[in-house]
Amino acid sequence: MQWNFQEIQQQARNDAGSIGNPQELEAFRLKYLGKKGVVADIFAALKSAEPADKAAIGKGAKELRGLVEELLAEKSGGVNAVKTIEEQVDISLPGTGGDIGHTHILTQTMKEIITVFEGMGFVTIETPEIETEFHNFTGLNIPIDHPSRDAFDTFYLDAEDPSSKGRRLLLRSHTSPGQVRIMKQHKPPMAVIVPGRVYRPDAVDASHSFMFHQIEGLLVEEKAQFSELKGLLTEFCRRFFGPKVNMRFRPHFFPFTEPSAEVDINAEILGIQRKKWLEILGCGMVNPKVFEAVGYPKGKYKGFAFGMGVERMAMLKYGINDIRLFYENDVRFLKQF
Ligand code: DAH
C-alpha cells in the first residue's frame, strides 16, 4: 500500500495548525477535499489498488476526510470570526440614540412669552405678514408723511391693494396692524396677543435684521387703565426674566397710543455689562383715533397695547450678543438652547 495514513493525518493536523485567515482556510479545504485534493486522489487510486488493500485504503480515505472536516469546523470558528451580537455589542453601555432636533431658541422664546400672557387670560391670534397700508399705517394713526411709510423704511410689493386703488401691498413693519384687523372683526372686551414676523429694509449687523419677530398685545374693554397696563407688564417681566428684574416705564411717543411709554430693564441685574438700561418694548393707552378707524363708537371703549421684539428678549435673557446667530442655523449655536 502506497499510503501512510498516519503520516497524512499528521500532515493535515500540521497544515491546520498554521491556518491564520479565511484564504488559508479555503486553501486547506481544497488541498484535502477539493476535486483534485488528497482525498479524491486516494479514492481515484482505489480502483487500481490490489484487492487486498482496497478495504484499508477506503477506510483510510474516509478517516482522513472525517479528520479534515473536523479540523475545518474547528478552524472556521476562529478564522471567520462570526461573532454573536452579544460578542459584538456591549449591551451594558448606555445607548447613543439618534440626533433629534428641537425647537429653535426664537420659537422657544416666543412660546415662553405667549405662555405668560395666556396664563393671564390673553388669546393668541396670528394676522397676515402681507398687509395693506391702512392696517400697517393709516388705521394706526401713522400720518401719510411719517418717515416709516417711506419706501426706504418699508418693503412694498408690486401688487396693488385690492381694497384701495393706487396703494400697494407691503410686508408689515410691525405687528401692530394685527390690532386694527382684530378690532375690525371682534367687539370688546378682548385681550389678545399677536406674534409673528415683521420686515424692515435695514442693513444687517449685530443688532439689526431685515426680518425679525414681534409680539403685540392688545386689551380693550370699557374701563381699561394705564395702571393695569403697568401691573400687567411688570408681572410679565418678573415671570419672563425672574423675580429680581428691575424695570422702568419711560414716557415716549407712538401715534397709535396716547399716552405712550417705553419699558426698560436694568441690564446689570441680568449680568450684562453694556448700557445700564435697555429698552424692551413700547406700550400705551390705545389712541381714540385708532378706535375711530376701526369703527368703534366714540368714547365707548378704553384699551392698552404693547409691542416687543422677540430677538431682543431672547438676547437679553440668554446673553446672546449678535442677532445674526438666530438665522445662520449653525448647530453649535442652536444646540446650546
Ligand atoms: N409697533 C411698535 C414698533 O414696532 C411697537 C409698539 C409700541 C407696539 C407701542 C404697541 C405700542 O402696541 O402700544 O416699534
Q: What percent of the chain has pLDDT over 70?
A: 95
* 60-74 pLDDT tens trace: 899 999 999 999 888
Alpha helices in 157-280 (DSSP H): 177-185, 226-241
Ligand 1 contacts (CB < 6 A) are: 174, 176, 216, 254, 257, 282-284, 305-307
Query: pTM higher than 0.85, yes or no?
Result: no
Q: What is the mean pLDDT of the chain?
A: 92
CA of 283 to the centre of ligand 1 (A): 6
Strands (E), 107-189: 123-124, 130-131, 156-160, 168-171
Tell me the DSSP string of 63-92. Answer: HHHHHHHHHHHHHHHHHT----HHHH--TT
**Ligand 1 atom index nearest CA of 256:** 13
Q: What percent of the chain has pLDDT over 90?
A: 71
CA of 282 to the centre of ligand 1 (A): 5
- The C-alpha atoms of residue 132 and residue 50 are separated, in whole angstroms, by 112
DSSP label of 255:
T
The one-letter amino acid at 210: F
* 255-309 pLDDT tens trace: 999 999 999 998 877 776 667 888 999 999 999 999 999 999 999 999 999 999 9
**Helix or strand holding residue 55 (H, E):** helix 51-79
Cell 405687528 found at: 175
CA of 175 to the centre of ligand 1 (A): 8
What integer is the mean pLDDT of 90-102? Answer: 85
